[in-house]
Amino acid sequence: MKEDIYFLDGNYIEASKATISVRCHAFLYGTSVFEGIRGYFNKEENQVYLFRAKEHIERMFNSAKIMFMNPKYSLDEYLDILKTLIQMNEYKENCYIRPEIFKSGKDICPGLDENDSVLIFTLKMGDYLPTDKGLKVCVSSWNRLSDNMIPPRAKISGAYANTALMIAEAKKSGFDDALSIGPDGKIAEGSAMNFFLVEGNSLVTTPQTSNILVGITRNTIMEIAKNELHMEVVEREINRTELYIADEAFFSGTGVQIAPIGSIDYRPIGNQKAGKYTIQIQKLYNDIVQGKVEKYKKWCLGVY
Ligand code: PMP
């Protein structure tokens, strides 16, 4: 079988040749920043659209800035590399791209020295969590990291040990995924996704200051809920017990897309399936990411 092509430090190479040293800082200390970008196949147009790739690369530049990293390429250069990789790998289906900027120095002391590398790999990808049933969710016993620890605003690989602990605990306890509480005692987000609840006609999500990654899907949902569904969109702190009495709840993220939540800590949410607003948001989102809504085609970058 033909191997996928990855991009490593300026070279397009076969996946098995894209290797790093076991002494690489990113491996030893988690000092890497990354993005997850989805490509959606539009059958009618025979096209793969990368969704909001520009915003993802811009967020990676911000993560890199926080971690004293040099992104090495401009925004346009990154967008070209993303397109080239999908073309070279000849994907004509839904897929995912993972760009990483990482510390590739090899001395033993952790630090943020000048040795930066860039890796970009791609894979074919369907759903990450079910999007057609109500997920069973718990509030994690693990606290979310905060801005003065490993800043959640930056998408730093080392921070995903926090995510991994939450997911492992949730799965071993029979849940699909987890919600996290920050050191401030307020709801932050899901293990690797943002969180929304519906209260009457209002869509509520946690603010940037609640130790979240400021999601691009989150922003997309806020825009379409306001502009297309005429909902009131509120960013405010959320307390744990508000979860239990929400009319609807769902996760959002590039990987997870829009995943309805059916119960939280054993309390049913609505009828334990996607609620009426969640269904409308999901439908709009699915059309938009495939480049089927003219008004939002500006968010879709055609690969071919
Ligand atoms: N929070 C965390 C911790 C994440 O890993 C992700 C996935 N990137 C999100 C939120 C959602 O962000 P986005 O919608 O930009 O994918």
| Domain residue spans of the chain | 5-124, 135-289
Task: With cut-offs at 50, 70 and 90, classify the pLDDT of residue 44.
Answer: very high
Provide the CATH topology of domain 5-124: D-amino Acid Aminotransferase; Chain A, domain 1 (3.30.470)
Residue 153 has pLDDT above 80, yes or no: yes
Q: Among residues of the chain, what percentage have pLDDT more than 70?
A: 100
Residues 159 and 162: their CA atoms lie apart, in Å, by 6
SS3 call for 157: helix
What are the pLDDT digits (tens) for 47-92? 999 999 999 999 999 999 999 999 999 999 999 999 999 999 999 9
| Mean pLDDT calculated for residue range 156-163 | 98
65 is catalytic: no
Which of 98, 146, 193 best tests ligand 1's pocket when mutated (most atoms within 8 Å of CB)? 193
Q: Is the pTM of this model over 0.95?
A: yes
| Mean pLDDT calculated for residue range 97-105 | 98
Token pair for residue 291?
């480049």
Token pair for residue 130?
């079910």
User: What does pLDDT average to over the chain?
Assistant: 97
Q: What residue ranges in the chain does DSSP mark as E strands?
A: 5-8, 11-14, 32-34, 37-42, 47-51, 95-103, 116-124, 135-143, 177-181, 187-190, 194-199, 202-205, 232-235, 248-253, 257-264, 267-268, 300-302
What are the pLDDT digits (tens) for 190-245? 999 999 999 999 999 999 999 999 999 999 999 999 999 999 999 999 999 999 99
- What confidence score (pLDDT) does residue 259 get? 96
Are both 5-124 and 135-289 of the same fold? no
| Mean pLDDT calculated for residue range 21-26 | 96
What's the gap in Å between 107 CA and the centre of ligand 1? Answer: 31
CA nearest 139: which of 266, 271, 262, 255? 266
Residue nearest to atom 13 of ligand 1 (CA): 215
Residue 269 has pLDDT above 90, yes or no: yes
User: Is the minimum distance from the CB of 191 to ligand 1 under 6 angstroms?
Assistant: no
User: Is the minimum distance from the CB of 24 to ligand 1 under 6 angstroms?
Assistant: no
User: Is the minimum distance from the CB of 189 to ligand 1 under 6 angstroms?
Assistant: yes
Residues 105 and 154: their CA atoms lie apart, in Å, by 20
- What confidence score (pLDDT) does residue 1 get? 79
- Domain 135-289 annotated CATH 3.20.10.10: yes
CB neighbours (10 Å) of residue 92? 14
What are the pLDDT digits (tens) for 114-149? 899 999 999 999 877 777 789 999 999 999 999 999
What's the gap in Å between 75 CA and the centre of ligand 1? Answer: 20
* Marked catalytic residue, from 83, 103, 136, 155: 155
